[in-house]
């Protein structure tokens, strides 16, 4: 019987959610949905020294904003709970003891000071085959001495005993056959002095308990793979091991190394999905959501960092991504992050969105800036008119504010040098001729006809007209603006503009 597809996204609740983490969640989600499987959120909170209050809730909020809601999670438990590692503590110790009993692991009583002294003495010190017999552990101490130390509650860790002169191999779904020389792998800690497991033991025990079929994670975890594969073997679960896929890194814009939060700070763009507020310092790190990205665009751009469908198509909905996703199309090479390209995705998604889909968000943005929107029907028309000019959702404020409040300042420098009493007279006459039901095209024809009759080129009157209506040299077609403002408001703005220009 074929194993049911179960995948997991297993972040640590230590701070903001990096876009690389969201992409890992996305690829897990796409694979699960493509194969009618289950997408699990497991919180890896075993490192209590790095645990940050509020970080788990933040991760859940990020996934929900992206539309990647887990099928099972701490918030939505299924049959494989608990979904926080800290709540599974008892099971880890049992397996650590089993590994010791079977000769695959050992107790290590070395103090932090002893390890520091060793590292100072040997700069490239590794606790492993070459050094383990010089250390204080259950391989070098007599059994009665080990029993006495444990009975006296002497702090210890449990380390895996990596074999010498072996090759550990596995088939990665992205990279093919990957092999490791065990002589280059150290004896990693499996159980810490506080009784909590390290990632190495916990990930194996939890993947087995939760019946995970496929494990997607970042390329930076590749060096840990031999430890995990040996643990699956040593615990007798080799035939139930998930299939592995190590995803390519998301690189700095210059391609030189992994993209970090520091790079975002330096280059002026976010690397977190949503704003993250440090509970200790109160410092806020910007996120894509608050910067004005649509979740559809954020997911789309992440999918294209390391994957494509084999065509030149770049815009995909989540439904399309599920339908087209295949592991074979994930690249081995790292993908450079390009913030200008990210904004392009957002611009394309804003253009594709209906006015009604954008209405609540744009209304909220205008309200935050103190702009009152009394007419929702006008707002919908404004959104349709200006959305092609917006890269970020916040751009809607600058692009539409003048539809809801008359300009208080004018770009006089652009008008005054060529302003004249004849032009003032032209606008007074044009204002009187405006009809209630004129279309933008009709208004433009009337404007041009009157300009010709008065001996003006239409072009030299368009700029003053635009500045009367919006205050500056920006915005969509000036007759489209006038049509949406309506006859009375357009006349009022022409009158105010003439007074200001005179």
Of 258, 261, 454, 487, which one is the catalytic site residue? 261
Sign of CA dihedral 491, 493, 494, 499: positive
Task: Note the pLDDT of residue 158.
Answer: 98
Tell me the backbone φ, ψ of residue 436, rounded to 5 degrees.
Answer: -65, -40
Average pLDDT of 152-179? 97
Rounded CA separation 390/265 (Å): 24
Taking residue 298's Cβ as centre, other Cβ atoms within 10 Å add up to: 27
pLDDT tens digits, 72-131: 999 999 999 999 998 988 889 999 999 999 999 999 999 999 999 999 999 889 999 999
Average pLDDT, the chain: 95
- Residue 481 structure tokens: 């603006």
Rounded CA separation 441/148 (Å): 94
Task: Note the pLDDT of residue 242.
Answer: 97
Rounded CA separation 238/262 (Å): 40
Given a cut of 70, is residue 2 above it in pLDDT? no
Average pLDDT of 378-389? 97
3-state secondary structure of 401: helix
Given a cut of 80, is residue 67 above it in pLDDT? yes
Note whether 443 and 348 are within 8 A (CB). Answer: no
Judge whether 261 counts as a catalytic residue: yes
Percentage of residues in the chain with pLDDT exceeding 70?
Answer: 100
Rounded CA separation 332/219 (Å): 9
Note whether 126 and 134 are within 8 A (CB). Answer: no
Cα dist. 63→73, 154, 346, 493 in Å?
11, 42, 18, 46
Task: Note the pLDDT of residue 1.
Answer: 56
pLDDT tens digits, 221-247: 999 999 999 999 999 999 999 999 999
Percentage of residues in the chain with pLDDT exceeding 90?
Answer: 94
Taking residue 390's Cβ as centre, other Cβ atoms within 10 Å add up to: 22
Tell me the backbone φ, ψ of residue 279, rounded to 5 degrees.
Answer: -65, -20
Given a cut of 60, is residue 175 above it in pLDDT? yes
pTM score:
0.92
3-state secondary structure of 102: coil
Task: Note the pLDDT of residue 46.
Answer: 84
3-state secondary structure of 170: strand
């Amino acid at each position: 019987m074929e194993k049911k597809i179960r995948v997991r996204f297993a972040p640590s609740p230590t701070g903001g959610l990096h876009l690389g983490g969201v992409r890992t969640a996305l690829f897990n989600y796409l694979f699960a949905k493509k194969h009618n499987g289950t997408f699990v959120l497991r919180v890896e909170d075993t490192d209590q020294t790095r645990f940050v209050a509020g970080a788990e809730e933040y991760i859940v909020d990020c996934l929900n904003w992206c539309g990647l809601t887990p099928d099972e999670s701490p918030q939505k438990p299924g049959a494989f709970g608990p979904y926080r590692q800290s709540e599974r503590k008892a099971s880890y110790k049992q397996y650590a003891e089993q590994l010791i009993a079977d000769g695959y692991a050992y107790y290590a009583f070395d103090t932090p000071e002893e390890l520091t002294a060793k590292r100072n003495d040997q700069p490239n010190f590794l606790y492993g085959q070459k050094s383990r017999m010089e250390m204080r552990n259950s391989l070098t101490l007599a059994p009665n001495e080990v029993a006495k130390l444990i009975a006296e509650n002497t702090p210890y860790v449990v380390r895996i005993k990596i074999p010498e002169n072996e090759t550990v191999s596995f088939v990665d779904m992205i990279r093919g056959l990957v092999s490791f020389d065990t002589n280059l792998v150290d004896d990693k800690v499996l159980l810490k002095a506080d009784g909590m497991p390290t990632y190495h033991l916990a990930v194996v025990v939890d993947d087995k308990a939760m019946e995970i079929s496929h494990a997607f994670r970042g390329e930076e975890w590749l060096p840990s793979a031999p430890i995990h594969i040996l643990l699956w073997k040593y615990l007798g679960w080799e035939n139930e091991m998930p299939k592995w896929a190590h995803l390519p890194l998301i690189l700095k814009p210059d391609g030189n190394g992994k993209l970090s939060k520091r790079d975002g700070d330096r280059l002026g763009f976010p690397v977190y999905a949503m704003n993250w507020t440090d509970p200790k310092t109160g410092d806020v790190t910007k996120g894509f959501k608050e910067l004005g990205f649509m979740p559809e665009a954020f997911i789309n751009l992440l999918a294209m960092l390391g994957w494509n469908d084999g065509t030149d198509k770049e815009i995909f909905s989540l439904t399309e991504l599920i339908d087209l996703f295949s592991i074979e199309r994930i690249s081995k090479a790292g993908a450079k992050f390009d913030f200008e390209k990210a904004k392009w995705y957002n611009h394309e998604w804003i253009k594709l969105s209906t006015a009604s889909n954008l209405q609540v968000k744009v209304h909220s943005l205008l309200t935050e800036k103190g702009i009152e929107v009394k007419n929702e029907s006008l707002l919908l028309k404004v959104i349709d008119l200006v959305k092609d000019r917006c890269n970020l959702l916040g751009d809607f404020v600058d692009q539409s504010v003048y539809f809801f409040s008359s300009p208080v300042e004018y770009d006089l420098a652009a008008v005054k040098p060529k302003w004249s009493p004849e032009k003032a007279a032209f606008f007074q006459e044009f204002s009187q001729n405006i009809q209630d039901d004129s279309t933008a095209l009709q208004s433009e024809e009337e404007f041009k006809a009157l300009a010709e009759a008065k001996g003006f080129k239409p072009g030299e009157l368009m700029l003053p007209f635009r500045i009367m209506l919006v205050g500056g040299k920006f915005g969509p077609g000036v007759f489209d603006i006038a049509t949406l403002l309506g006859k009375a408001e357009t006349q009022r703005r022409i009158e105010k503009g003439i007074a200001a220009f005179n």
